[in-house]
Structure 1
């Protein structure tokens, strides 16, 4: 049975679509909502919420180059969103090595984005009893963990496809 026909593959592709939708909407919101010009101000006013170890990075690298970083963030979210939507659509019937590699790249980029947003937000890693109105687990941390899981899935899919190709070169096209 090929990888694309398994129930687990279809479930992962469904969750990939959901994460892709979130990134695409976030990227489009940034594109049409004036994110890049306003990033410097937002970063400057919110920097104190970030984790302590992250302050020097934000103040010495990101803040002085806020236009560049704002553009990179926006473009990265758009890339991740489009990727996480196209990969399941293209890989629903047949899943190839190139799709799994594309998925690995998009997943690592998404993990990097979500982890940086988590560090910037300063949300607790887990339950914070001093703030009962906060989520039990930061949504940004949860998103980064889901994207890390996607990377693992795409990596394993790529290995499975390569192993199948070593046994039978015609099998790659059918996987």
Structure 2
């Protein structure tokens, strides 16, 4: 479990770095609609493309804020959960916090993959890799919760 925790802390730090760059940059939420408009024609998923056109782009400032805060909260939850597990402090709660952060990360990665994965092979593969790692983390943590409960 310990090697997996070190991999998961790197995922948590990736989420933190991603969110902090959006907060520090200051214009992510405002520029999201324009970014999506540039890449929407390349999106190969008709249902998600329609979702982006009809709901996300018109409300891009709201969705941009949700993405920034979601990334920040996922990063905090994953990193804090791993640190608490490594210190063996409040283990059950640490696992639950970590599972919540990983589930939120999967949700964000799936949306990024469906929304922008077609724009770049690098973002496509990175999102899929993060989804798989976070799923492995959840499965491992749930198994340990069931065994210890």
TM-score higher than 0.5: yes
Q: Alpha-carbon deviations, 1:40-95, whole Å to 9, x = none?
A: 11111121222332111101111111111111110010011111211111111316
Match of 1:23 among 15, 35, 41: 15
Structure 1 residue runs of 4 or more that deviate by more than 6 Å after TM superposition: none
Listed as ranges, the matches of 1:16-165 within 5 Å are 16-33=8-25, 34-53=27-46, 54-94=48-88, 96-123=91-118, 134=121, 138-162=125-149
Give the CA RMSD over aligned residues.
Answer: 1.9
The alignment's TM-score, normalised by the length of structure 1, stands at: 0.76
Which of the pair has more CA radius of gyration?
1
Aligned residues: 145
- Going from structure 1 to structure 2, the CA distance change for 1:43 and 1:123 (only over 3 Å counts) comes to closer
Residue of structure 2 in register with 1:127 after alignment? none
User: Structure 2: which 5+ runs fail to align?
Assistant: none
User: Structure 1: which 5+ runs fail to align?
Assistant: 1-8, 125-132, 163-175
Contact 1:51 1:122 in 2 (8 A): no
The alignment's TM-score, normalised by the length of structure 2, stands at: 0.88
Query: Which structure shows the bigger proportion of residues in helix conformation?
Result: 2
Instruction: Return the alpha-carbon distance in structure 2 between the equivalents of residues 113 and 134 of structure 1.
Output: 18
